[in-house]
């Protein structure tokens, strides 16, 4: 092959890559608009009906705009319906609520099983209360993000099950293991609030082997509560949770972590803390099997979106919309 021919082929490949990238970006800015309005002035009055209207194996961006209201329904985004966004205007007035308590995996008020899902400005609540696993949000899809949402529950509020997830400026409330699962997830600028009557447990991460690239990372967050709490306990033997640049009120007990009555896990878990502050952040009395004073080198792999590969899948909000329905089904 001549140098000129090789150069031409390389240039052609570059041009094709650029065109594909531009086409993908353009597609991401246009979405099918579906409106949910309890007053009847939208396409649907229930959120689940709007999701059901999305074709199976969907490849188009779908933006479900939910008007203010309290939506008393159990909602599932099936695995074969990707590229859906559900967005309210403000989390305080766009509320999805239910009170199921069957078990951790089936009790969720909102279950996101699809990949490439976005949630914005929503309150998702499981109102069952104490006494059983009662999940508000289950996330079992890959490349899922939530922005400015509130997740309210008591036990297992947020089941961050599997996949890569990003939570930004969210409020998460609960008492027992209220952020749990085996996702690879970054929580940025989130507020975690313990409502336990005794000792709350914020996380129960389920990483089960050192080969799993999963774990919960909290960056620039805030922790408050009404009594006392620990940062986490190991659902899985290789549980991994790291807090950085996070304000911890005195709700956090000095020891910081709990071994869930299984000392054997102390040698396999990875519980870290880096440049946190507040009365509950003092590393001097943390359990000796945690990394209470991570070095900058130890912290570097965690405290960026690279941890979840988000540069490749976080997408911008659509700026153009096309309507999917001419009349109300």
Parallel, antiparallel, or unpaired: how do β-strands 110-112 and 75-77 relate? parallel
In this model, does residue 112 exceed pLDDT 60? yes
Q: Which of 156, 160, 161, 258 is catalytic?
A: 156
Query: The domain containing residue 14 runs over which residues?
Result: 1-30
Higher-pLDDT residue of 102 and 151 is: 151
Cβ contacts of 82 within 8 Å, gap of 6 or more: 58, 59, 114, 115, 116, 117, 141
Question: Do 54 and 1 share a domain, yes or no?
Answer: no
Mean pLDDT over all residues of the chain? 91
% residues pLDDT > 90 (the chain): 87
**Dihedral angle over CA of 247, 253, 258, 260, nearest 10:** -120
Q: pLDDT value at position 29?
A: 85
**Residue 112 within a domain:** yes
Query: CA torsion 21→25→26→29, rounded to 10°?
Result: 170
The verdict on 26 and 123 lying in the same domain is no
Whether 271 is covered by a domain: the verdict is yes
Q: Are residues 151 and 2 in the same domain?
A: no
**Can you give the pLDDT at residue 324?**
72
Q: What is the mean pLDDT of residues 295-308?
A: 96
Tell me what percent of the residues of the chain surpass a pLDDT of 70.
Answer: 90
Pairing of strands 228-232, 270-274: unpaired
Do residues 26 and 38 both lie within one domain? no
CA distances from 207 to 162, 178, 180, 293 (A): 10, 16, 10, 22
Q: In terms of domains, do 18 and 139 share one? A: no
| Lowest pLDDT segment from 26-35, 119-128, 198-207 | 26-35
Candidates 160, 161, 177, 258; catalytic one: 177
Per-residue pLDDT for 329 more than 50? no
How does pLDDT run across 36-66, given as a tens digit for each residue? Answer: 999 999 999 999 999 999 999 999 999 999 9
pLDDT at 233: 98
pLDDT for residue 326 is more than 90: no
Residue 170 clears pLDDT 60, i.e. is over it: yes
Q: Is 156 a catalytic residue?
A: yes
Residues 6+ positions from 291 with CB-CB distance below 8 Å: 270, 271, 272, 273, 298
The confidence score (pLDDT) of residue 325 equals: 52
Active site residue 177: yes
**In terms of domains, do 72 and 217 share one?**
yes
Q: What's the pLDDT at 323?
A: 81
Write down the pLDDT at residue 153: 98
Work out the angle at residue 144's Cα, subtended by the Cα atoms of residues 62 and 52, and round it to the nearest 5 degrees.
Answer: 40
Task: Please say if the pLDDT value at position 130 is more than 80.
Answer: yes
Q: How many domains does the chain have?
A: 2
Same domain, 88 and 164: yes
Q: Are residues 98 and 156 in the same domain?
A: yes
pTM score, two decimals?
Answer: 0.90
């Amino acid at each position: 092959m001549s140098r000129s021919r090789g150069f031409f082929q390389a240039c052609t490949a570059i041009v094709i890559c650029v065109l594909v990238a531009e086409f993908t970006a353009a597609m991401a800015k246009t979405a099918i608009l579906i409106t949910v309005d309890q007053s009847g002035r939208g396409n649907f009055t229930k959120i689940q009906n709007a999701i059901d209207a999305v074709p199976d194996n969907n490849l188009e961006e779908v933006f479900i705009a939910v008007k203010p209201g309290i939506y008393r329904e159990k909602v599932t985004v099936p695995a074969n319906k990707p590229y859906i966004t559900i967005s309210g205007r403000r989390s305080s007035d766009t509320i999805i609520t239910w009170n199921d308590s069957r078990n951790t995996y089936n009790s969720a008020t909102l279950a996101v099983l699809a990949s490439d899902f976005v949630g914005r400005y929503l309150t998702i609540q499981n109102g069952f209360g104490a006494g059983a696993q009662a999940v508000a949000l289950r996330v079992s899809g890959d490349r899922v993000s939530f922005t400015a949402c509130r997740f309210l529950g008591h036990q297992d509020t947020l089941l961050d099950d599997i996949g890569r997830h990003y939570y930004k400026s969210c409020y998460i409330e609960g008492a027992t293991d209220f952020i749990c699962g085996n996702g690879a997830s970054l929580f940025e600028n989130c507020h975690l609030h313990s409502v336990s009557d005794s000792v709350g447990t914020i996380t129960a991460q389920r990483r089960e082997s050192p080969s799993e690239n999963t774990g919960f990372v909290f960056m620039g967050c805030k922790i408050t509560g009404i009594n006392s709490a620990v940062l986490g306990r190991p659902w899985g033997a290789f549980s991994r949770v790291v807090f950085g640049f996070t304000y911890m009120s005195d709700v956090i007990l000095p020891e910081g972590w709990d071994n869930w009555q299984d000392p054997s896990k102390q040698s396999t878990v990875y519980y870290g803390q880096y440049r946190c502050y507040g009365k509950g952040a003092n590393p001097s009395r943390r359990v000796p099997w945690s990394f209470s004073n991570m070095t900058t080198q130890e912290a570097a792999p965690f405290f960026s979106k690279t941890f979840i590969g988000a540069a490749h899948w976080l997408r911008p909000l659509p700026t153009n919309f096309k309507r999917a329905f001419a009349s109300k089904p």
